[in-house]
């Protein structure tokens, strides 16, 4: 993509201003075609060339300078040239009666294999076949065979993603090793997540999956030698961020390194890839989790407090006393898996109390406000959205149910029921279409059900297409689910919504000058008079559908869109998701790569060159590049019916009973 001008992996350059396909652009006018145009007036009604009539007309044209044909006014040179061509054609006509079969218009062979047949003169005069019109955008990939890249091409693209990961790591390793995050432009590190070396832990399982052995060695060595000490010495950390990034990263690396012997073989990752020390990873995980448990046990309700002081083993609420709904409900995958591998049920027990309590609370068609009070246990306010502070509540309702397969139809059935009700609420209350071009998006209800609808969608909401697709098929392909008659009408509706939303998320990228999405977008809807600035890519069809306000133009290297592209490609097997992902990756390479190492966030995706923010978030290595790498990988690597990704893209195995595990082999 150049400057974000590439709208999608197809081109509309050959469509006229009125939207019609201009076939004439593909009619190459050869010299023979030009002669054909000249001679067309001299061709009889049966399509055959009349030599005598042609000569007569030439003589007449010489006698009258006013007669003009398509070739222009005849001169002596033109007359001689025409006589020469006419003579050759006359000889050709006689030859065709001896050596060619006039009826073979399409080059069909005759019985005598030794005689080379050719078309008669009509073949030279017939019009060229019309080229098929360019497919409209929504149809471009329906014939997948036309756009299926060769396996070697996907392998090549996957290698490029691995190289980007190694480049990102090189900057961090040189300038910020041991810090939470890299500031690539100023070439230094910063601690914004508690000082636990978050980038190292977030990157470890990505390196294992990619076979980046040097990174695995460097990261695992640092963890073994430093992390336990850091945990005992550091101060305040956020329960949610530390759980999803650090605890989740440790547990995923533990599993992928062979710690969970019963299921590690399902990953599809080559056994030759370097692994970390699983025993040490589990030891550090338990020490960290024991301290984080204070957020649960210190709360007067089932809702945990938001922050923990690691060295003091104490916990407290946020300054306003509230917890984010998503933060309180996005801990269960990690704590439940830790209970499974450690044999200690306390982690799962405390974390699952959150969902058991939330099940009892009032909701708006399954939708919930974005704040909850840990002291009262009740939701606070009426703000409903699937962006920040609300998003992963809905994600974990489904994923915790998926993870604990042995309890799906028994004690955890309520989780899927809560998820299904919420998705019905999303479709009824939050889904709208833009004007003029009908992009589907998910808006917000800042003042609850009875308040005004806001046509605002965070980039964070782009996790939803992947979640909807996973919920529809439970991780198997759409084709297999249809063949087995496993999809309900609601599943099909959710899968269609997933594909529609994914397109909108991609257009949030392609509508900007850089080809990278803003943090927040607003959408033009019927009856909404508020306009606003566009994304800068004037060639985008959706330039008038998407509004990007000045304070929302930044890009933090977020993963949610490529996450959904990965899941949708696995489930639908549609190559367009790979192509879209590749264009997004190219935009990251073009506008965020820092030569000295690392990648930087951007301050404004609508201007060229874009201004920067000097920050490489841990999730760029832990999520964005991981999902892009897996997007170009085989479907047997971390298959979605055997693995569930936490909200930081750390894959954890689906937990089956011993009987289920033996039946799946």
Q: Which residues are identified as catalytic?
A: 241, 391, 519, 560
The sign one gets for the Cα dihedral 514, 582, 423, 241 is negative
What is the Cα–Cα distance from 535 to 517, expressed in whole angstroms? 9
Please say whether the beta carbons of 398 and 333 come within 8 A: no
Phi, psi dihedral angles at 373 (to 5 degrees): -95, 115
Cα–Cα distance, 391 to 378 (Å, whole number): 18
Q: Which two tokens stand for residue 625?
A: 């590049």
Tokens representing residue 594 in the block: 């820092």
Asked if 184 and 614 touch (Cβ cutoff 8 Å), the reply is yes
Sequence-ordered list of residues with C-beta below 8 angstroms from that of 504, at least 6 positions apart, any chain: 439, 440, 441, 457
Angstrom distance (rounded) from CA 403 to CA 474: 10
Taking every pair of C-alpha atoms in the chain, what is the biggest distance, in angstroms? 111
Residue with tokens 């019963």: 262
Whether residue 540 is preceded by a cis peptide bond, meaning omega within 30 degrees of 0, is no
Render the burial of 619-636: b for 16+ CB within 10 Å, e for the rest: bbbbbbbbbbbbbbbeee
Please check whether residue 466 is in contact with residue 501, taking contact to mean a CB–CB distance below 8 angstroms.
no
CA 129 vs CA 104, 117, 125, 348, 621: distances in Å:
17, 21, 12, 67, 51
Task: Tell me if 314 is assigned to a ligand binding site.
Answer: no
- Write phi, then psi, for 38 (nearest 5 degrees): -65, -40
Backbone angles phi, psi at 593, to 5 degrees: -75, 135
d(CA 509, CA 536): 11
Q: CA–CA distance from 478 to each of 83, 199, 219, 562 (Å)?
A: 66, 35, 38, 19
Taking the CA atoms of 216, 219, 223 and 225 in sequence, report the sign of the dihedral they define.
positive
CA distance 253 to 301: 32
Task: Report CA 534 to chain centroid distance, whole Å.
Answer: 22
Asked if residue 436 has a cis previous peptide bond (ω within 30° of 0), the answer is yes
Annotated binding site: 647
As annotated, the binding site for Ca(2+) includes 647
């Amino acid at each position: 993509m150049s400057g974000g001008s590439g709208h999608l992996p197809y081109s509309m350059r050959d469509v006229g201003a009125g939207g019609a396909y201009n076939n004439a652009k593909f009619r190459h006018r050869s010299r023979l075609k030009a002669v054909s145009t000249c001679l067309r007036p001299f061709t009889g009604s049966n399509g055959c060339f009349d030599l005598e009539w042609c000569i007569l007309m030439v003589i007449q044209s010489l006698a009258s300078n006013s007669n003009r044909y398509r070739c222009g006014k005849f001169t002596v040179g033109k007359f001689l040239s025409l006589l020469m061509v006419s003579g050759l054609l006359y000889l050709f006509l006689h030859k065709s009666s001896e050596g060619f079969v006039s009826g073979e218009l399409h080059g069909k062979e005759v019985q005598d294999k030794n005689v080379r047949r050719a078309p008669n003169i009509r073949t030279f005069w017939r019009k060229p076949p019309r080229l098929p019109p360019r497919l409209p955008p929504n149809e471009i990939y329906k014939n997948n065979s036309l756009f299926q890249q060769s396996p070697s091409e996907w392998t090549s693209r996957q290698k490029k993603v691995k190289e980007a990961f190694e480049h990102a790591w090189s900057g961090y390793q040189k300038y910020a090793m041991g810090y939470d995050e890299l500031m690539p432009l100023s070439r230094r590190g910063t601690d914004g997540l508690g000082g636990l070396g978050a980038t190292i832990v977030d990157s470890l399982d990505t390196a294992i999956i990619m076979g980046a052995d040097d990174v695995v060695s460097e990261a695992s060595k640092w963890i073994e030698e430093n992390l336990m000490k850091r945990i005992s010495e550091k101060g305040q950390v956020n329960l949610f961020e530390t759980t999803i990034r650090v605890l989740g990263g440790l547990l995923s690396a533990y599993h992928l390194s062979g710690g969970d012997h019963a299921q590690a073989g399902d990953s599809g990752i080559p056994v030759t890839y370097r692994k970390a020390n699983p025993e040490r990873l589990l030891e550090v995980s338990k020490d960290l989790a024991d301290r984080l448990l204070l957020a649960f046990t210190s709360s007067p309700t089932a809702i945990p407090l938001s922050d923990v002081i690691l060295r003091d083993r104490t916990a407290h609420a946020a300054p306003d006393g509230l917890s984010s709904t998503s933060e309180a409900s996005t801990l269960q995958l990690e704590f439940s898996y830790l209970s499974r591998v450690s044999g200690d049920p306390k982690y799962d027990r405390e974390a699952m109390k959150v969902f058991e309590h939330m099940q009892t609370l009032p909701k708006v068609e399954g939708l919930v406000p974005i704040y909850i009070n840990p002291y009262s246990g009740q939701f606070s306010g009426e703000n409903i959205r699937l962006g920040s502070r609300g998003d992963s509540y809905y994600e974990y309702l489904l994923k915790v149910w998926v993870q604990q397969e042995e309890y799906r139809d028994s004690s955890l059935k309520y989780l899927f029921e809560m998820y299904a009700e919420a998705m019905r609420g999303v479709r009824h209350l939050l889904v709208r279409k833009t004007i003029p071009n009908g992009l589907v998006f998910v808006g917000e209800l800042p003042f609850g059900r009875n308040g005004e609808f806001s046509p605002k969608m965070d980039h964070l909401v782009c996790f939803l297409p992947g979640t909807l697709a996973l919920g529809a098929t439970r991780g198997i392909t759409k084709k297999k689910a249809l063949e087995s008659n496993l999809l309900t009408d609601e599943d099909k509706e959710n899968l269609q919504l997933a594909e529609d939303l994914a397109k909108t998320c991609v257009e949030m990228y392609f509508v900007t000058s850089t080809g990278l999405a803003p943090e927040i977008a607003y959408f033009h809807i019927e009856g909404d008079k508020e306009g606003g600035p566009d994304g800068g890519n004037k060639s985008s069809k959706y330039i008038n559908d998407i509004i990007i306000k000045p304070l929302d133009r930044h890009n933090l290297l977020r993963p949610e869109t490529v996450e959904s592209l990965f899941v949708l490609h696995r489930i639908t097997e549609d190559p367009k998701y790979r192509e879209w992902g590749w264009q997004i990756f190219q935009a990251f390479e073009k506008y965020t790569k820092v030569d000295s190492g690392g990648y930087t966030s951007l301050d404004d995706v609508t201007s060229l060159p874009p201004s920067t923010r000097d920050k490489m978030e841990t999730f760029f290595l832990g999520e964005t590049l991981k999902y892009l790498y897996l997007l170009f990988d085989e479907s047997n690597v971390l298959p979605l019916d055997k693995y569930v990704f936490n909200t930081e893209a750390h894959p954890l195995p689906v937990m089956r009973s011993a009987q289920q595990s033996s039946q799946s082999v």
